[in-house]
Amino acid sequence: MSHLWTPWRMPYIKGETKPKDGGCVFCEKRTSTQDATDYIVARSEYVYVILNIYPYNNGHVMIVPYEHVPSQEDLSIAALTDLMTSINKTLTVLRQVYRPHGFNLGANIGSAAGAGIAPHYHFHIVPRWNGDANFMTIVGDTRVIPDTLDHIYRDLTTAWQELYPANT
């Protein structure tokens, strides 16, 4: 039997990642002052960029509006513009740090579409590499993430600050 070491999943298993008041985890992060602990890579006027703590690949991030709405059509034009600008900046940072061959971009709107946190719209960016669906994914139904969240956070925030120093 093979074992994969994934200590960052233990808080999820213990139920420690849910907001204590039963509220929204994305709204809780919005007001947090602990960006490094919360893996918030960057903030702008209407959105923030955060690591997905259950990633599909290295560098899997989400762009999260500060506003608690279930779908992107509920966002203001200013928030939508900021969302798209932040997506483009994030793509640039991910290209510099990881040199992916491609990306999956998108949002799961509603529980039926696979949204894990359906009441709060968020947008995923997943870097992809040729052959990244290796035998572990196909045979073992297991994703191998070769780096820690702390290292990914450090690399992405460093690159973000180098590319966008006014947004630190």
Question: So which residues are the catalytic ones?
Answer: 122
Cα atoms in the 13 Å half-sphere on the side-chain side of 84: 7
Look at the block and give the residue holding tokens 């233990």: 10
- Please check whether residue 44 is in contact with residue 86, taking contact to mean a CB–CB distance below 8 angstroms: yes
